[in-house]
Amino acid sequence: MESFDFSFRLLDVIDILLVAVILYYIYSLIRGTIAVNILIGLGLIYVIFLLVQQFNMHLLTSIFGGFISVGSLALVVVFQQEIRRFLIHIGKNISVKRKNYLWSIFVNKRAAGRDNRMHLKPIIDACRNMSKSHTGALLVFAKYFDEEYYQSSGEYIDAELSKRLLESIFQKNSPLHDGAVVIVDFKIKTASCVLPLSDSEDLPLHFGLRHRAAIGVSEVSDAVAVVVSEETGEISFAKDGNVNMNISHEELEELLNATL
Ligand SMILES: Nc1ncnc2c1ncn2[C@@H]1O[C@H](COP(=O)(O)OP(=O)(O)OP(=O)(O)O)[C@@H](O)[C@H]1O
């Protein structure tokens, strides 16, 4: 007679917890995207496969069985973007390139509570002016400068941050006004940078590419982004794939001060 071993080790608990964390992580990455629908579709196909198998419907079983046997390969193709995002999320904290960032965390720990308001002033003033004049702008605040990521599409500047420089970059006649400015450690690193677009379906209908790019970069990295809408003059703040819309200058200052 077959006997079952029901003993439960601590490692099993850790195993289950880790699987739960990974599943939650994957869910939060694909929540609100088209990937959820694809996942539901795949789940349905699997349920149908189990049913036709149970009822011994040979032809359908072999058709669905064939589909499922190449399923793992199909999953990689279909979820290419999500897998990439997932790996970036995991890797971004342990990247060798982040040695400077890790060092800055250590240094910042000691300077905990440091108030960045003085450094933020030119940014807030520029955003206020651009908001008034309905000048479209997209500012990314990254914790470290990933050259391959930001420099490949943008124009390398590496300049001290100033209100007038920001405003002149986003002037409609400026050759650099299209795309994003990337700011690291209160220095303008690049301008005219092309960012990944968010494919979230939960975003307001009036959000165009500028807002999608701001949300996109905050989804795939730990950068935050500020948008000044050309259409409405409203300021929005994107972090971790979420967006605070139509915020005041004071709120923008608070959010940036808390993040940077
Ligand atoms: N992938 C991208 N990365 C960075 N900037 C982008 C990207 N795609 C578009 N943009 C910027 O967004 C501008 C187009 O904005 P669009 O009108 O589509 O956006 P919006 O979200 O409706 O913003 P607005 O309220 O300012 O009109 C482009 O001129 C360009 O500067």
| Residues 160-188 pLDDT 10s | 999 999 999 999 999 999 999 999 989 99
Q: In this structure, are 74 and 113 located in the same domain?
A: no
Query: How close is the Cα of 156 to the center of ligand 1, in Å?
Result: 20
Ligand 1 atom with minimal separation from the 212 CA: 21
* Residues near ligand 1 (Cβ within 6 A): 136, 138, 178-180, 194-195, 197, 207-211, 213, 229-231
Q: In this structure, are 245 and 152 located in the same domain?
A: yes
Q: Which two tokens stand for residue 28?
A: 């939060």
Distance CA 220, CA 197 (A): 10
Q: Which of 179, 225, 231 is nearest to 205 (CA)?
A: 231
Task: Report pLDDT for 111.
Answer: 47
Residues 6+ apart with CB under 8 A from 171: 135, 177
What's the CA dihedral at 142, 189, 152, 106 to 10 degrees? Answer: -40
Query: How close is the Cα of 77 to the center of ligand 1, in Å?
Result: 28
What's the domain count of the chain? Answer: 2
The pairing of beta strand 180-184 with beta strand 137-142: parallel
Please indicate, yes or no, if residue 180 is contained in any of the structural domains. Answer: yes
Residues of the chain with pLDDT under 50: 1, 96, 109-113
Q: Which one of 209, 228, 236 would you pick to mutate in the ligand 1 pocket, going by the greatest count of ligand atoms within 8 A of its CB? A: 209
The ipTM, to two decimals, is 0.95
Structural domain boundaries enclosing 237: 109-259
Q: In this structure, are 119 and 237 located in the same domain?
A: yes
Counts of helices then strands in the chain (DSSP H, E): 10, 7
Residues 6+ apart with CB under 8 A from 161: 119, 122, 123, 183, 186, 187, 188
Please indicate, yes or no, if residue 99 is contained in any of the structural domains. Answer: no
Q: Which two tokens stand for residue 200?
A: 């979230």
Q: In this structure, are 67 and 140 located in the same domain?
A: no
Please indicate, yes or no, if residue 98 is contained in any of the structural domains. Answer: no
pTM of this structure: 0.69
Domain closes at, from 78, 94, 121? 78
Query: How close is the Cα of 172 to the center of ligand 1, in Å?
Result: 13
